[in-house]
Amino acid sequence: MKCRYERQPTCKARKWLEVFSGKVVYYGTVMDVLVQQYPQYVSLAWGAMKFLFMSVINHDEMTKEIAKAYSMIADLLPRTDFTLIHYPTTAMKEAIAQLYAHIILFTSRAIRWYKKGKISHAVGAVARPWALNWKDSVDAITEHSRRVESLAKVAAQAELRDTRLEVKVLRSEVQSLSAASTTAHASMMRLLEDLSLNGKQVYELTYKTEGLVQEIKPILQTQKKEITNICLSTLAALPWAEDIPSPKLTLAFCSSMRRRRRAPALKLPELATLNSWAISKQSTLLFVTS
């Protein structure tokens, strides 16, 4: 709509009128002083001219301010989307929704203004100038954009605080691990020192024990028989050793068991004959020879 409005043909007189109107209004205070000299003749003419000049200036201001407002909105929307993606809180969503609502209202008013004719623009430039009819909408958009930025700053500060707390917790954990590592290292060094000392002691004890064994070994070899007899007599004197048979009975039992193992085993045919005799129900006679 704005592009179509700006593509409409304009004459050179209009451009010069805009320039001339700006200069005349700039020096309007001087003209007001001059008009007071002859108010009955000049005031009406000067008032009409001033009305025309203000209409031209207000119309030019209207188009420029609308363009500036949309330039601001174009810069504002990407930042708003970025903020909503990173901080999707309830308060942020409400603030952005209100901001979008004001932008939509401003856009609808701008579209209606662009669709009006030249006469409506001329009358509206004087009756409803930018400062009275449009500036409040732009101020509302600016205020809500500042609110969104304020909420984003608060959310960023909250994230920064959470990050600082996490860093603090990690620092305490690292310090605890460092202290535990130092303690473990000290314990390991003491253990290595103890093992070194124990190794020396074990080596000395082993050396002394080996020497003592070498000294006792010849004595044991000379008194082996006596020690054996003492051990046997000690075992025989125990209460549970009374049921042990005498050596003679033990020798006889072992000899009997040995002879049994040496006896010839029955062959398979003989075993079959013996089995038939055992299960037979008739009266039979079996001769066994040895």
- Rounded to an integer, what distance in angstroms lies between the CA atom of residue 96 and that of residue 77? 10
3-state secondary structure of 288: coil
Task: Pull the structure tokens for residue 190.
Answer: 């003491």
Percentage above 90 pLDDT, the chain: 1
Contact (CB, 8 A) for 25 and 50? yes
Angle at 215 between CA 211 and CA 218, to 5 degrees: 140
Single out the residue of 75, 79, 131, 144 nearest to residue 105, CA to CA: 144
- Rounded to an integer, what distance in angstroms lies between the CA atom of residue 224 and that of residue 220? 6
- Rounded to an integer, what distance in angstroms lies between the CA atom of residue 36 and that of residue 42? 8
Single out the residue of 137, 120, 149 nearest to residue 69, CA to CA: 137
CB burial string 190-202: b at 16+ within 10 A, e below: eeeeeeeeeeeee
Q: Between 198 and 250, name the one with better pLDDT.
A: 250
Mean pLDDT of 171-180: 86
Domain residue ranges in the chain: 59-175
Q: Which band of pLDDT confidence, cut at 50, 70 and 90, is reported for residue 1? A: very low
pLDDT of residue 76: 87
Cβ neighbours of residue 24 under 8 Å, at least 6 residues apart? 31, 49, 50, 53
Q: Which band of pLDDT confidence, cut at 50, 70 and 90, is reported for residue 154? A: confident
Q: Name the burial class of residue 28, with classes exposed (0-12), middle (13-18) and buried (19+) by CB atoms within 10 angstroms of its CB.
A: middle
Q: Which band of pLDDT confidence, cut at 50, 70 and 90, is reported for residue 188? A: confident
57-111 tens-digit pLDDT: 667 777 787 888 888 888 888 888 888 888 888 888 898 899 999 888 888 888 8
At 12, the amino acid letter reads K
SS (H, E, C) 198-264: HHHHHHHHHHHHHHHHHHHHHHHHHCHHHHHHHHHHHHHCCHHHHHCCCHHHHHHHHHHHHHHHHCC
Single out the residue of 67, 74, 87, 68 nearest to residue 147, CA to CA: 87
Measuring CA to CA, how many Å separate 127 from each of 59, 122, 136? Answer: 11, 9, 16
96-123 tens-digit pLDDT: 899 999 888 888 888 877 777 666 666 6
Winning range, highest mean pLDDT, from 20-34, 155-169, 175-189, 271-285: 155-169
Measuring CA to CA, how many Å separate 160 from each of 27, 140, 163? Answer: 56, 30, 5
